[in-house]
Structure 1
């Protein structure tokens, strides 16, 4: 079975949590509590590009604010 996070043939969303951390998420899986869709659904490539463009500081927001 193919890992759904690596499957180029399904659609994805980009999610972000309260700490400003991003992830790509298969569209067919429910969005977990604490995460919000900020992009998609679309291709895996588009999701990865969105994350690369928008998640420029990997530190959680709680660390950046201090």
Structure 2
């Protein structure tokens, strides 16, 4: 059995969770709780390009917000 996450010819989704983390997900597997579809079924290479373009800060959003609050970022 091949790994469904490494099937170059299969369709994938890009999922995003509440922390802004992205995931490549086989289109035929149900989307897990806590994740939403950010890119509908597309070729694996297109999904990976979408993730690379849109997930530029690997930190969870809760950490981004905590860091901003600590440093006063965003204050006028």
Structure 2: unaligned runs, 5 residues or longer: 67-76
Which structure has the bigger radius of gyration?
Answer: 2
Determine which structure has the larger helix proportion and give its number. 2
SS at match of 1:65: helix
RMSD: 0.4
By relative contact order (CA 8 Å, sep 6+), the higher-ranking structure is 1
User: How many residues were matched structurally?
Assistant: 66
Q: TM-score, normalised by structure 1?
A: 0.98
Structure 1: unaligned runs, 5 residues or longer: none
Q: In the alignment, is residue 9 of structure 1 matched against residue 44 of structure 2?
A: no
